């Protein structure tokens, strides 16, 4: 056969496979408000940059009449493309082909592209949309999942791994996103759970809908499994592209440098903190008055809102922010917020992103539910993560830093490189009310007017200790700075820390309080 | 002093609640989890609750029986296993609230001990 005929034949074969599960299945997918796998990849990567591999892979299942079934691409599309002009590896499960179920060849394709991304040191983006394991392939499906989970772990901390949940992701399958660095969910489309509603109903008699059990909102607000929440697939893709502007392509590279820009003029940093120490403010306003173009990408915005984490650029360089949020639960540390901060700190440390910590917290959240939920074990995670991190770590104490909270939020003692404090900072073992009641108990109880004595002692304690100067006198903080100086101090501090070179004592790895 | 913040995007307009930490009361918002937390109630050893949802397969004893600690009361079939529910303390089995064939959820009151 002459070559032209062979080329025509190739084109015909391609066309057939590109249809996936067929026109009808594609229409069904779109009717559910979902794009097809290929449409998603095209929407995400740069125009004309996508190259697909393993297009002609076929499944090798022979039980249950499977040999009679043709599953194009075995239900998954893998390939490489570029985002922001830089190469990435991507896979997208194709729900139109056997419900996107995972068989051994399907898993083989995914592990192939995962191996590529690790070998070539570039981010991996996985679009999950699958009914789960292909029961007909039995243990081969389980083997497939296992191989995927292992590679997720192997690549963890070497390349950024992003999971996008654009359909069901149930049972074992959901562990792959859980092992990746960032999980994106879309309202009403994402579903993640270990056991679905039908099984729960049969085994336990509890009734719940898929959306209530493991919908996008559940994971964005309650479980903390999702890092970004979008209302549409298009919004989700914009978020992914935005996130990638802050991340390095691998742990040996720097993030994309952008031209430095001053923060927007509407954020006046000096006027954010209210005069009354018990009134809250939104710490994101402080962040926005520091970062370039006031552009702050918040991570896990809807979960554990008493801690704010996210990325911004300072003078063109990526910075990770970990901040107490006085607007919610007075900015306390608790089980969820400790988990949230600790994992983010480890991500920044793994990928050489400097960490800026903004402190304003009264301590830990009291309560039996917190204690019984293990706030001890979870709170320790944040201490561990900060201590272990060797990236430049800079702390700015905005207002309250009491007791254990002062230590935990990247104090000098956990080896922060620079600790600055605003004049409004109160660095003390506890708040004036609580401290005065304990220290001056005798004076208060024996006084003629205990209430007046108590008020006087609280004022005395406030005068003497609720300020940054006691800590400054000990060198526990490096400098008391004006709020207006914060951005320039941070620029300088990060600049002089870029060549930081320290190492932990030799060990295989520590044992964080998981 | 008035805050000159305009257009800060995510300002929550709901009125503030209060949270007391070490005798200082702060104005702040709550998280949903914090609002929905269950107040602590110590467990009553005389009330035997189910620890898992399941079906009552077989009841071994009748009301009023005097029992030693650890003796079996009934079989609760759950997660494909026949789980034996035992009496935690010695005493008289005052009342049984289930019958064979009942499907019960978690933390359901099965029996009361005197």
Q: What is the 3-state secondary structure (H, E, C) of A145-158?
A: HHHHHHHHHHHCCC
Partners of residue A310 in chain B, C-beta under 8 Å? none
Closest alpha carbon within chain A to B29: A328
Asked if A141 and A103 touch (Cβ cutoff 8 Å), the reply is: yes
Domain carrying residue B108: 47-113
Strand locations in A37-137 (E): 51-53, 76-83, 86-93, 124-128
A137-159 b/e (C-beta count within 10 Å ≥ 16 → b):
beebbeebbebbbebbeebbbeb
- The answer to whether the CB atoms of B29 and A284 lie below 8 A apart is no
Packed helices A450-465 and A432-439: angle between N→C axes, nearest 10 degrees: 120
Residue B26 in domain? no
Out of A204, A280, A282, whose CB is closest to B10? A282
Checking if the pLDDT of A353 tops 80, the result is: yes
Select from A241, A248, A351 the least CA-distant residue to A297.
A241
**CB burial string B48-74: b at 16+ within 10 A, e below:** bebebbbebbebebeeeeebeeeeebb
3-class state of residue A396 by DSSP: strand
Task: Please name the residue of chain A whose CA is at the shortest distance from the CA of residue B3.
Answer: A271
Count A/B contacts: CB-CB distance under 8 Å. 109
* Residue B75 in domain: yes
Neighbour tally for A294: CB within 10 Å: 21
pLDDT in tens, A200-258: 887 777 789 999 999 999 999 999 999 999 999 999 999 999 999 999 999 999 888 89
Chain A residue whose CA is closest to B40: A368
Give the residue from A348, A350, A293, A291 showing the smallest Cα distance to A322.
A348
Residue B108 lies in a domain: yes
CATH number of residue B67's parent domain: 2.40.50.100
CA angle, corner A204, sides to A199 and B55, nearest 5?
Answer: 130
Predicted pLDDT at B12: 57
Residue of A nearest to B102 (CA): A205
The answer, yes or no, to whether residue B10 has pLDDT greater than 50, is: no
Q: Is residue B100 part of a domain?
A: yes
Give the span between the Cα atoms of B3 and A272, in whole angstroms.
6
Chain B residues within an 8 Å CB radius of A367: 37
With beta carbons under 8 A apart, name residues in chain B contacting A430.
Answer: 22
In this prediction, residue A56 carries a pLDDT of: 94
pLDDT at B7: 33
> Would you state the CATH architecture of domain A269-429+468-497?
Alpha-Beta Complex (3.90)
Provide, as residue numbers in chain B, all residues whose Cβ is less than 8 Å from the Cβ of A458.
none
Q: What is the DSSP string of A162-195?
A: EEEE-SEEEGGGGHHHHHSSEEEEETTT-EEESS
CB A382 within 8 A of CB A422: no
Number of domains into which chain B is organized? 1
Chain B residues touching A437 at Cβ < 8 A = 23
Q: Give me the phi and psi of A254, to 5 degrees please.
A: -100, 155
Domains A3-244 and A269-429+468-497 share a fold: yes
Q: What is the DSSP letter of B16?
A: P
CATH number of A3-244: 3.90.226.10, 2.70.98.60, 3.20.20.70, 3.30.70.2740?
A: 3.90.226.10
Q: Which pLDDT tens digit goes with each residue over A26-47?
A: 999 999 999 999 999 999 999 9
Q: At what angle do helices A233-244 and A37-44 cross, to 10 degrees?
A: 40
- Nearest CB among A268, A369, A430 relative to B4 is that of A268
pLDDT at residue A514 tops 70: yes
Q: Are the beta carbons of A363 and B29 separated by less than 8 Å?
A: no
Q: Which residues of B touch A275 (CB under 8 A)?
A: 1
C-beta atoms of B22 and A431 within 8 A: yes
Domain boundaries, chain A: 3-244, 269-429+468-497, 432-465
Of all residues in chain A, the one with the smallest CA distance to B54 is A204
Residue A436 CA to residue A250 CA, distance in Å, equals: 51
- Name every chain A residue with its beta carbon within 8 A of the beta carbon of B28: 280, 326-331
A449-505 tens-digit pLDDT: 888 888 899 999 988 998 999 999 999 999 999 999 999 999 999 999 999 999 889
In the predicted structure, residue B17 carries a pLDDT above the cut 60: yes
Task: Inspect the interface and report whether the beta carbons of A205 and B103 lie closer than 8 Å.
Answer: yes
Enter the DSSP assignment of A254: P
Average pLDDT, chain B: 83
Residue B4 has a pLDDT of 34
Name the residue among A275, A282, A362 with its Cβ closest to that of B22.
Answer: A362
Asked if the Cβ–Cβ distance from A369 to B4 is below 8 Å, we say no
């Amino acid at each position: 056969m002459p070559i032209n005929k062979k080329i025509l034949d190739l084109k015909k074969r391609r066309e057939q496979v590109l249809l996936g599960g067929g026109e009808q299945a594609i229409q069904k997918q779109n009717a559910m408000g979902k794009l097809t796998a290929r449409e998603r990849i095209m929407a995400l990567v740069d125009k004309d940059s996508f190259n697909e591999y393993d297009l002609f892979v076929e499944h090798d299942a022979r039980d249950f009449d499977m040999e009679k079934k043709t599953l194009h691409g075995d239900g998954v599309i893998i390939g490489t493309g570029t985002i922001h002009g830089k190469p990435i590896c991507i896979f997208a499960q194709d729900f139109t082909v056997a419900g996107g179920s995972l068989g051994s060849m399907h898993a083989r394709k995914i592990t192939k592209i995962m191996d590529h991304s690790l070998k070539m040191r570039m981010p991996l983006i996985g679009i999950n949309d699958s009914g789960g394991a292909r029961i007909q392939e039995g243990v081969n499906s389980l083997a497939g999942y296992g191989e995927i989970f292992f590679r997720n772990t192997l690549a963890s901390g070497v390349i950024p791994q992003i999971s996008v949940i654009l359909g069901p992701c149930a049972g074992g399958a959901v562990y792959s996103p859980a092992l990746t660095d960032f999980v994106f969910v879309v309202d009403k489309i994402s579903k993640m759970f270990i056991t679905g509603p039908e099984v729960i109903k049969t085994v336990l008699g509890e009734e719940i809908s898929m959306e209530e059990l493991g919908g996008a909102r559940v994971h964005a607000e309650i479980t903390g499994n999702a890092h970004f929440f979008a209302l549409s697939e298009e919004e989700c893709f914009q978020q992914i592209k935005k996130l990638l502007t802050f991340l390095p392509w691998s742990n040996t590279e720097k993030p994309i440098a952008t031209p430095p820009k001053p923060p927007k003029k509407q954020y006046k940093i000096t006027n954010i903190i209210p005069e009354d120490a018990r009134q809250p403010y939104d710490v994101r306003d402080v962040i926005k008055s520091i970062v370039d173009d006031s552009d702050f990408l918040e991570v896990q915005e809807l979960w554990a809102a008493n801690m704010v984490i996210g990325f911004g650029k300072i003078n063109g360089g990526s910075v990770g922010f970990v901040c107490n949020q006085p607007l919610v639960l007075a900015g306390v540390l608790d089980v969820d917020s400790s988990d949230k901060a600790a994992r983010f700190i480890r991500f920044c440390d793994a990928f050489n992103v400097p960490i800026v910590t903004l402190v304003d917290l009264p301590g830990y959240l009291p309560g039996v539910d917190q204690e019984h939920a293990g706030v001890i074990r979870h709170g320790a995670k944040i201490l561990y993560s900060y201590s272990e991190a060797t990236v430049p770590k800079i702390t700015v104490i905005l207002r309250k830093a009491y007791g254990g909270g002062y230590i935990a939020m990247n104090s000098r003692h956990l080896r922060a490189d620079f600790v600055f404090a605003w004049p409004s900072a109160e660095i003390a073992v506890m708040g004036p009310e609580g401290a005065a009641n304990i220290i001056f108990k005798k004076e208060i109880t024996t006084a003629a007017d205990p209430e007046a004595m108590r008020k006087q002692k609280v004022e005395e304690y406030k005068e003497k200790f609720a300020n940054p100067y006691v800590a400054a006198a000990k060198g526990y903080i490096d400098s008391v700075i004006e709020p207006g100086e914060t951005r320039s101090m941070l620029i300088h501090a990060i600049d002089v820390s870029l060549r930081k070179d320290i190492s932990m004592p030799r060990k295989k790895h520590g044992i964080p309080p998981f | 002093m008035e805050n000159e913040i305009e257009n800060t995007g995510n300002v929550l307009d709901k009125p503030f609640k209060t949270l007391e930490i070490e005798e200082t009361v702060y104005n702040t918002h709550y998280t949903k989890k914090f609002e929905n937390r269950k107040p602590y109630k110590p467990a009553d050893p005389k009330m035997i609750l189910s620890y898992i949802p399941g079906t009552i397969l077989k009841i071994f004893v009748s009301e009023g029986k005097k029992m030693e600690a650890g003796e079996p009361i009934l079989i609760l079939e759950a997660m494909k296993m026949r789980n034996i529910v035992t009496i935690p303390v010695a005493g008289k089995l005052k009342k049984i609230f289930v019958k064979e064939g009942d499907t019960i959820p978690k933390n359901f009151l099965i029996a009361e001990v005197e």
